[in-house]
């Protein structure tokens, strides 16, 4: 079985990225992406895109605030 470098040289490409980008349609690239991406990765991608679009996760804001208040309470040292 030929290795990647041999096939890329034959196709006159320097990288798998370049070959895939040039030879697959946008639809095929998206299908390939979904085959490679786990649900956690998909969540992270959607979260990042929506965050960049201005989405605010109010549940996370509330949880962070509650965590902060708990840490402040804990650091008062009244339980010692």
For the stretch 7-38, pLDDT in tens is 999 999 999 999 999 999 999 999 998 899 98
Task: Tell whether 42 and 77 lie within a shared domain.
Answer: yes
pLDDT at residue number 20: 95
In which domain, by residue range, is 26 found? 1-36
- Is it the case that residue 79 has pLDDT exceeding 80? no
- Alpha carbons within 13 angstroms on the beta-carbon side of residue 44 total 5
Task: Say yes or no: 58 and 27 in one domain.
Answer: no
User: What angle is formed at CA 2 by the lines to CA 23 and CA 12, rounded to 5 degrees?
Assistant: 40
**Mean pLDDT of all residues belonging to the chain:** 92
Q: What percent of the chain has pLDDT over 90?
A: 78
29 shares its domain with 3: yes
pTM of the model: 0.51
Q: Are residues 79 and 52 in the same domain?
A: yes
Alpha helical stretches, state H, 12-78 = 16-23, 26-36, 39-52, 58-75
Query: How far apart are the C-alpha atoms of 39 and 2, rounded to whole Å?
Result: 32
- When pLDDT is averaged across residues 38-66 and rounded to a whole number, the result is 93
Q: Do 4 and 27 lie in a common domain?
A: yes
Closest CA to 57 of 70, 69, 43, 68: 43
Give the total number of structural domains in the chain.
Answer: 2
Examine the domain organization and report whether 24 and 53 are in the same domain. no
């Amino acid at each position: 079985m030929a290795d990647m470098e041999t096939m890329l040289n034959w196709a006159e490409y320097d990288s798998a990225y370049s070959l895939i980008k040039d030879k697959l349609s946008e639809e095929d690239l998206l299908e390939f992406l979904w085959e490679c991406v786990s649900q956690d990765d998909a969540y992270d991608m959607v979260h990042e895109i929506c965050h960049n679009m201005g989405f605010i996760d109010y549940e996370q804001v509330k949880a962070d605030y509650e965590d902060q208040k708990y840490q402040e309470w804990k650091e008062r040292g009244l339980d010692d």
